[in-house]
Amino acid sequence: MPKNPVPSLPVGEEQASNRAHSRSGFVSLVGLPNSGKSTLVNAIVGEKIAATSPVAQTTRTLIQGIHTTTRGQIVFYDTPGFHRLSHAFNQLMGTVAREALLSADVVVWVVSLDPLPGPQDVEKMRQILLPALGGRPLVIAATKMDRAKPQGMIPRLLEIEKWGFPGEIIPVSGLKEKNLDRFLNLLFDLLPAGEPVFDREWYTSQTVRQLAREYIQEKIFLQLREEVPHQAAVLIEEFEEPQSPGEITRITGSIFVERLSQKGILIGQKGERIREISQAARKDIERLVGGKVFLRLDVRVSEGWRENPGMLRELGYMPE
């Protein structure tokens, strides 16, 4: 999806500079749930392309964020967090994250400074990362540096250093957009020489339809926190783009839950909660499309959808 063009050099100078210095490649952001991966990607690309919330498992699919400058282009893979739950849906998310890890030019382990992961989670990431690197560079992005005062951050960075992983450790904050330039310069230094994969104006490979689903899913997590969100999934069933300027974008979607009681929680008293979710998502989608949006959301029960291959395919979590 495009946005405003990146400022460019005069044509002749730009072509010569690109031939000599352009770097391009794929960077996988991996880590535990709720470590700040999506917030970091959103901050870097300058647009909301990934849902964020304080609840783990907000990111469910592989999301590509594209950052282009005169140095080249970085395509970020924002991956689902590695977690312990074992049902089919979580196993699919783990597979997505591992495939992105294996296909990247540079791997970034995103580690929350507040709180730091415990010994069991560190060992888990060691078992995942070290066999998969295969000589590729690793960067440890210590996120949420805005939460830790300098006197508290330094001991935590030293603790990360003691874990003994290869690669540079760099503190960053996606929320406050701190230290991002240094982080990006380091990634460009590690990427191979090459031309951009995507058009310079693009900031994500996702469609508006996919982004709309992401926004709705985010509002469910923000509204319900730990009550229902992990058992809820969004399906965009109809997406009608305006045929001429000034017309409305019309979207119809369903939110699937696993139990009838969850449906009641999601709808809320007199429909208040689903109305709040719809209104908040609609505002984000209107900012995205630059116009008015009609959004209708229905709540439907599909028992055990997280274990149902047919439903997982329909929801876009499994290939056809």
Residues belonging to the binding site for GTP are 31-38, 78-82, 143-146
The owner of tokens 């709180």 is 115
- 64 Cβ contact partners less than 8 Å away, ≥ 6 residues apart: 75, 76, 77, 78, 204, 205, 206
Check if the beta carbon of residue 51 is closer than 8 Å to that of residue 59.
Answer: yes
Annotated binding site: which residue ranges? 31-38, 78-82, 143-146
Check if the beta carbon of residue 98 is closer than 8 Å to that of residue 132.
Answer: yes
**DSSP string covering 282-304:** HHHHHHHHTS-EEEEEEEEE-TT
3 state DSSP class of 32: coil
Helices vs. strands in the chain: H and E counts, helices first = 10, 9
Angle at 146 between CA 63 and CA 223, to 5 degrees: 55
Q: What is the C-alpha to C-alpha distance for residues 113 and 110, in angstroms, rounded to an integer?
A: 10
Q: What is the C-alpha to C-alpha distance for residues 255 and 298, in angstroms, rounded to an integer?
A: 6
Check if the beta carbon of residue 102 is closer than 8 Å to that of residue 77.
Answer: no
- Omega cis (within 30) before 115: yes
Phi-psi region of 174 (alpha: psi -120 to 50; beta: other; left: phi over 0): alpha
Buried b / exposed e along 85-114 (16+ C-beta atoms within 10 A): eeebbbebbbebbbebbeebbbbbbbbbbe
